[in-house]
Chains A and B, each alone.
Chain A
Amino acid sequence: MLSLFLLLPFLGIIALNLPVKGRRDAAAFLYTLSLSIGQAIVVLFNPGDFWAKPDFWGGFFNLGLYADNLTFVMLLSIGIVVSTAVCVGWQTISDHRQRLNFYNLVLIALIGMNGTVMLTDIFSLYVFLEVTAISSFILIAFHRDLNALEGAFKYIVLSALATVLMLTSIAALLLFSGGTSFAAVSAAVKSNSGNVIVIIAVSLFICGLFIKGGLVPFHGWLPAAYSAAPAAVSILLAGIVTKVAGIYVLIRLVRDVFGPISEISSVLMLVGTFSIIVGALAALKQDNFKKILAYSSISQVGYIVLGLGCGSPLGIAGAIFHLFNHSIFKSLLFVNSAAVEKQTGSTDITKMGGLGSRMPYSNATNLIAIFSTSGIPPMAGFWSKLVIIMALWQMGHFTYAAIAILVSVITLAYLLAIQRKVFFGILPQELKHIKEAGIWIVIPAVTLAIIIIGTGLCFPLLFKSFLMPVSSFFK
């Protein structure tokens, strides 16, 4: 029944574009919202035998879908972030036609992401990555202002380069394997482990994923795309699209398909550490709210890749947990930037101040997200960072662990700078009339804050039942 995750959005797109009179944008909003929340709830209560059932339409729509614990974690985060973006989109986009277009594109992105996390074939993976990427190109350029077009064009060029790298790698792997399924590729890589062409192919694929995920040598498109995109789209992109397209596929391929190759692990750790440092240092000198968050995203993704490169089950569990946490707290930060942008009309934090008294919900939830991002107990982000650093320490990578701890302090520095300049301090005269943003921004913000605190407080319960099973899949 896994194909329902693909079929329901697809049927929705068809139904929403039938030429019927009435408020089609409201219908699209309700459909997308209920679909994404439903996805999160269904995955959370995980009726295991339900997924194992064969589709009642038989083999007609057979993509070889497969779900393990990692897939369910990703489906959960996709559901949460998409529903957040849908709510914020209703508040920030006012035109009816634009809203309908927005929800259609979000549904396409939902199909692409759900497909990416469930597939077991390296070429279908590329197809669904492109589906996700195509809808996010259009979403970035949604309002057609020049900055957004620039961000979208940069993303298109770099994403096409990533595609070229991945396809070259698939072509080279095809020389050795009898097909493109994960099993065939995995067997081919294992039986030709010393072969130069195989190693080149694997590294080309991983380079492509670094571009898609915005890791440091290839991060040029990311701040442009995140900061120029409309508010709701930034949530979608930063929260989940680049995480699924880059980091999830990286975790899946490195652990499941390519197997543990020691050179690849050390490259992952090096790139992760560079991303952590460069992202944090670049975020320090920005004064645009969304751009700080974009660089912070690069830095946090570095932690995930560092945990992955560490290679032990604990490290991978930490990486996946941080992936989940990152999608929650980064969405929350972008929701708050959307609230501030909508109410003040700007994202320049030097012109703001004292908004905390006017926007109490944004103020409180932003503080929670900041604490989670920089790893202050008992928020969820603290535990995932702790697990990653413990795993690094266990494996004897003391330098990397020390850097990861030190950069946490820089993270706190640049995020508290946002908090101080935007929400604390004296309210400027021209911002006296500011009110709290609308209900559809406050509800997702409060929900995400509750998820952060809840995950943090329940962590001892989650550790055995949720976190270690995630990594134990990998053998």
Chain B
Amino acid sequence: MVNDMSQLFWMCSIAGFLVFIIGIYGLLVTFNLIRAIIGLELLTKSVTLFLILAGYVTGQTGLAQALAITLIVIEVVVIAIAVGIVLCVFRHNRTIDAQLLRNIKG
């Protein structure tokens, strides 16, 4: 039983790290705004997985569930606003290429 738990833990943490790295990669290489949003979403999903794992390892599953559900709700709102902004950019530019979003120079 203990062996099963540790196997599950390692599988989940490796999967979480993989999703995290894919998210970072997706955010860094792309010029497509929708893909950048997908990258952000993947990052948040991996963090949700970490939270659940932390709760699982320390036996606080109830707390971890509450945190994960709150996190998912908030994330949906953020992503909805981000998609709305991308939609407005598309109406202006007729493209969702991030290279055209470089008007403001530092």
CB of B50 within 8 A of CB of A147, answer no
Complex: A150 Cα to B106 Cα, angstroms: 13
CB-contacts of A186-239 with B (<8 A): 220, 223-224, 227-228
A144 in contact with B88 given A168-B47, A172-B54 (CB within 8 Å): yes
Chain B residues closer than 8 Å to A163, beta-carbon distance: 44, 78
Chain B residues closer than 8 Å to A174, beta-carbon distance: 51, 54-55, 58, 60, 63-64
CB of A130 within 8 A of CB of B74, answer yes
A160 in contact with B78 given A149-B89, A150-B104, A167-B71 (CB within 8 Å): yes
Partner among B57, B81, B102, B106 whose Cβ is within 8 Å of the Cβ of A175: B57
A130 in contact with B89 given A147-B103, A164-B47, A171-B50 (CB within 8 Å): no
CB-contacts of B51-80 with A (<8 A): 51, 53-55, 57-58, 60, 63-64, 67, 70-71, 74, 77-78
Complex: A160 Cα to B50 Cα, angstroms: 16
Main secondary structure of the interface of A (DSSP, over half): helix
CB of A153 within 8 A of CB of B33, answer yes
Q: Is B18 an interface residue (CB 8 A)?
A: no
Tell me the minimal C-beta distance from B27 to chain A in angstroms.
7
A179 in contact with B85 given A156-B78, A160-B78, A168-B47 (CB within 8 Å): no
Tell me the minimal C-beta distance from A68 to chain B in angstroms.
26
Interface size of B by CB at 8 A reads 37
CB of B57 within 8 A of CB of A156, answer no
Q: Is B101 an interface residue (CB 8 A)?
A: yes
CB-contacts of A104-139 with B (<8 A): 123, 127, 130, 133-134, 137-138
Interface size of A by CB at 8 A reads 38
Complex: A163 Cα to B58 Cα, angstroms: 23
Residue of A nearest to B53 (CB): A171
Tell me the minimal C-beta distance from B89 to chain A in angstroms.
5
A134 in contact with B101 given A153-B33, A167-B71, A168-B47 (CB within 8 Å): no
Chain A residues closer than 8 Å to B6, beta-carbon distance: none
Residue of A nearest to B86 (CB): A153
Chain A residues closer than 8 Å to B94, beta-carbon distance: none
Partner among A134, A146, A147, A168 whose Cβ is within 8 Å of the Cβ of B78: A134
Chain A residues closer than 8 Å to B81, beta-carbon distance: 134, 137-138, 156
Q: Is B93 an interface residue (CB 8 A)?
A: yes
Partner among B53, B77, B78, B106 whose Cβ is within 8 Å of the Cβ of A223: B106
Complex: A161 Cα to B93 Cα, angstroms: 26
Partner among B47, B53, B74 whose Cβ is within 8 Å of the Cβ of A127: B74
A127 in contact with B51 given A146-B89, A160-B78, A224-B104 (CB within 8 Å): no
Complex: A346 Cα to B106 Cα, angstroms: 18
CB of B74 within 8 A of CB of A167, answer no
Complex: A265 Cα to B86 Cα, angstroms: 39
**Which of A123, A127, A137, A171 gathers the greatest number of chain B CB atoms within 10 Å?**
A171
Complex: A27 Cα to B33 Cα, angstroms: 38
Q: Is A428 an interface residue (CB 8 A)?
A: no
Complex: A282 Cα to B106 Cα, angstroms: 8
Complex: A146 Cα to B33 Cα, angstroms: 14
Chain A residues closer than 8 Å to B106, beta-carbon distance: 220, 223-224, 282
CB of A156 within 8 A of CB of B44, answer no
Q: Is A318 an interface residue (CB 8 A)?
A: no
Q: Is A152 an interface residue (CB 8 A)?
A: yes
CB of B88 within 8 A of CB of A149, answer yes
Q: Is A343 an interface residue (CB 8 A)?
A: no
CB of A167 within 8 A of CB of B103, answer no
Chain A residues closer than 8 Å to B36, beta-carbon distance: 157
Partner among A138, A153, A167 whose Cβ is within 8 Å of the Cβ of B101: A153
Residue of A nearest to B101 (CB): A150
CB of B78 within 8 A of CB of A171, answer no
A171 in contact with B85 given A156-B78, A179-B63 (CB within 8 Å): no
A–B complex contacts, Cβ < 8 Å, 16 sampled: A127-B70, A130-B78, A134-B77, A141-B88, A146-B89, A146-B93, A150-B101, A150-B102, A160-B82, A167-B44, A174-B63, A175-B54, A175-B58, A223-B104, A224-B106, A227-B104
| 20 other A-B residue contacts (CB within 8 Å) besides A138-B81, A227-B104 | A130-B74, A134-B77, A137-B78, A141-B85, A146-B92, A146-B93, A149-B85, A150-B89, A150-B101, A153-B89, A157-B40, A160-B78, A164-B44, A167-B44, A167-B51, A170-B67, A174-B63, A175-B54, A175-B57, A179-B60
Residues of A at the B interface (CB closer than 8 Å) are 123, 127, 130, 133-134, 137-138, 141, 144, 146-147, 149-153, 156-157, 160-161, 163-164, 167-168, 170-172, 174-175, 178-180, 220, 223-224, 227-228, 282
